[in-house]
């Protein structure tokens, strides 16, 4: 090989290897904790955005029945139970999130059309609710004064697992409404992975507590 060609060839191989590694890491980030069959399963809320361009499915096994996991899902939201993730990171964005360590009875009734806030000024709407089994939120974050360039669903689905446990799956589906939506959403998915991992582990830790405290009022 011509000596002048060797550096170019090495750079080309390095770029190709980097691209392959990045693509593999991205695929794994979109399916953290999920099995191949779970990726293919149709979940509640999928029908709302049938032509979604970006989909992530993440999961975790919890050693408690769905009846003990659901209360933590039902009270998700800013001004409610929080998101059981990195509160300090969310609060850097002014979200005012305070994840609960107890189940609050006043936050347990969830109906289609209810608002679930991500931030005091950003909300999603409950589109599907099957108590004890599924909660699907829909909405998007505005871009300043502009409408969101995408539509999104966020589904929480609980399945019975052998031995009396629960399989908790969380699916995000994004439908792009503008040509530049991908430039906004795809980098955000890396943050979503970090926050979702913490959230799933946070729900697991709370649901596996020997005895869940239930309060009848917000303190």
C-alpha span between 10 and 20 (Å, rounded)? 15
Looking at the fold, whether 202 and 98 belong to one and the same domain comes out as: yes
**Residue matched to tokens 């005091």:** 120
- Quote the pLDDT of residue 28: 64
CATH number at residue 209: 3.30.530.20
Q: Domains in the chain: how many in total?
A: 2
Instruction: Kindly state whether residues 178 and 201 are assigned to the same domain.
Output: yes
Same domain membership, residue 23 and residue 62: no
Query: What pLDDT score does 144 carry?
Result: 72
**Same structural domain, 86 and 181:** yes
- 191 and 117 within one domain: yes
pLDDT (0 to 100) of residue 22: 40
Q: What is the pLDDT of residue 13?
A: 39
Amino acid 15: pLDDT: 39
Residue 5, domain extent: 1-30
Residues 88, 193, single domain; the answer is: yes
Same-domain check for residues 1 and 46: no
pLDDT tens sequence for the chain (219 residues): 565 555 554 444 333 333 333 444 455 689 999 999 999 999 999 999 989 999 999 999 999 999 999 999 999 999 999 999 999 999 998 999 999 999 999 999 999 999 999 999 899 999 999 999 999 999 998 877 778 899 999 999 999 999 999 999 999 999 999 989 998 898 888 889 999 999 999 999 999 998 765 565 554
Residues 51 and 40 in one domain: yes
Same-domain status, 63 and 84: yes
Same domain, 10 and 35: no
- pLDDT, position 134: 98
Q: What is the pLDDT of residue 23?
A: 41
Same domain? 88 vs 25:
no
Same domain, yes or no, for 58 and 148?
Answer: yes
């Amino acid at each position: 090989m011509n000596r002048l060609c060797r550096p170019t060839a090495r750079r080309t191989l390095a770029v190709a290897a980097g691209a392959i590694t990045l693509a593999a890491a991205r695929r794994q980030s979109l399916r953290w904790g999920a099995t191949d069959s779970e990726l293919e399963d149709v979940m509640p809320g999928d029908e709302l955005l049938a032509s979604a361009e970006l989909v992530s499915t993440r999961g975790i096994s919890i050693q408690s029945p769905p009846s003990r996991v659901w209360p933590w899902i039902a009270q998700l939201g800013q001004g409610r139970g929080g998101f059981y993730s990195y509160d300090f990171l969310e609060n850097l964005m002014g979200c005012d999130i305070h994840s609960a360590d107890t189940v609050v009875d006043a936050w347990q009734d969830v109906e289609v059309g209810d608002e679930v806030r991500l931030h005091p000024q950003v909300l999603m709407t409950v589109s599907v609710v099957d108590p004890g089994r599924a909660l699907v939120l829909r909405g998007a974050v505005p871009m300043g004064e502009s409408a969101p360039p995408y539509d999104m669903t966020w589904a929480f689905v609980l399945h019975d697992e052998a031995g009396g446990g629960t399989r908790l799956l969380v699916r995000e589906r994004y439908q792009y409404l503008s040509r530049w939506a991908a430039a906004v959403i795809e980098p955000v998915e890396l943050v979503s992975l970090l926050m979702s991992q913490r959230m799933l582990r946070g729900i697991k830790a709370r649901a596996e507590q020997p005895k869940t405290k239930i309060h009848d009022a917000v303190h």
